[in-house]
Structure 1
Amino acid sequence: MLKSLNNFSVRLRRTRCKPEELLLLFSSCLQRSKCDCNLADSLANCRRCGQCVVKDLLDLADEYGCHAFIATGGRLAAQRARDPKIKAIVAVACSKELSEGIRATFPKPVLAQELCTPNGPCKDTRVNVEEVRKAVEFFLR
C-alpha cells in the first residue's frame, strides 16, 4: 500500500531531473542465481548474456544515461540513494525492501516497481522492464 501511495504522490509532484541525477536502483535477486558474475563489485562485470533481466536494466540505464546500481541489501541501497547528486530514484525490489527504501530516502522522489517472484522470494526474480522504462521516462521528460 505504501508503494502505491508513494508512486501516486511522486507523480503528483511531477519531479523532473537530468539523466545524471537519476538512479536506477535494483535488487541483486534479479540476477540469475546460477550466474558467476560478481555484480556487487561492479555492474561492468555483467556479460549481458540475456539470461536474466539485469541486461535489460543496464541497457535501459545506458540508453537514457542514468546511473544504475545493484543493491545486495537495504542499507547499501539507502546509502547509494542518499548521494546528494541523485535527485530522483527508480527502485526495483520486493515490497518489503521498497517500503523500507522509500522511508529511508524521504523526501527524495522514488518511483517503486515491485518485482515478481516466480521462484520464491529472493531467487531469480523478474520485473516488467517496460514499466521501469515508463518510470525512467517520467523523471526525464
Structure 2
Amino acid sequence: MEFIDKKFVSINNLMVKLRKKKCSSKNLLILFPHCIQHSACKQNVKNDLNECKRCGKCKIKDLIEFSEEYGVHISLATGGRIALQKVKSAEIHGVVAIACEKELRTGLMAAAPKTIFAVPNLRPHGYCKDTDVYMDEVKEAIEKFLK
C-alpha cells in the first residue's frame, strides 16, 4: 500500500504543478504534523505555535519562519479531522501539506477539489516520531503558489 500512497502523492503533485494554480499569501496554508516536533521538547506547540522557543532541534522553527517571511498561514495538524477543517476553510485556496504519504493520500482525497501540494516527511526514527522535512521542497511549493 505504501507504493500506492507514494504514487498517488506524486501524481497529485504533478497535477498541481501542471495546473499552475496561484493564490495570494493570505490564502495559502502550510500544514504540518505534530510529529515534526522533537519528542523531548516540553513546549506545548499543539495548542499555540507561539510556544515554540525556536531552538532548532526540529523544523517547526523553520516552518514558522517561512510563514512569517512569505506572510502565509501556518497550522499544526493534531489529527485528520482538524486538519481537514483548516484545509476546507473558505479563506484557504492553496495548501502546502507535510505528512507521511498515507496521511497525505487520505487528506488529498478528503479535501478534493482543494489545491494541495503534498510534501512527504522524512521518518529517520520511524512513523510519528521526530519526523523531518526537506525545507527546500517546502519553500519551492510555497513559491509555486505565490508566483
The TM-score bracket by the shorter chain reads over 0.9
Q: Equivalent residue for 1:56?
A: 62
CA distance in 2, matches of 1:83, 1:39: 21
Matched, 1:132 2:138: yes
What is the CA–CA distance in structure 2 between the aligned matches of 1:138 and 1:18, rounded to whole Å?
11
Gaps of 5+ in 2: 1-6
C-alpha separation in 2, matches of 1:49 and 1:26: 18
Asked if residue 102 in structure 1 is aligned to residue 102 in structure 2, the reply is: no
1:35-91 deviation line (CA, Å, top 9, x unaligned): 111111111111111111110111011100000000011111111111000000000
Deviating beyond 2 angstroms after TM superposition, the runs of 4 or more aligned structure 1 residues are none
State the one-letter code of the partner of 2:54: R
In the alignment of these two chains, the number of paired residues is: 141
Q: Percent identity?
A: 44
How far off is 1:135 after superposition?
A: 0.2
Question: What SS does the aligned partner of 2:123 have?
Answer: coil
Task: Report what 1:4 is aligned to.
Answer: 10
> For residues 48 and 121 of structure 1, what CA distance do their matches in structure 2 show?
23
Q: Secondary structure at the match of 1:113?
A: strand
Instruction: Choose from 4, 12, 27 the match for 2:33.
Output: 27
Q: Which segments of 5 or more consecutive residues in structure 1 lack a partner in the other structure?
A: none
From 99, 123, 127, the counterpart of 1:121: 127
TM-score by length of 1: 0.98
1:69 aligns with 2:75: yes
Moved more, 14-23 or 34-43: 34-43
How far off its partner does 1:104 sit? 1.2
Give the corresponding residue for 2:51. Answer: 45
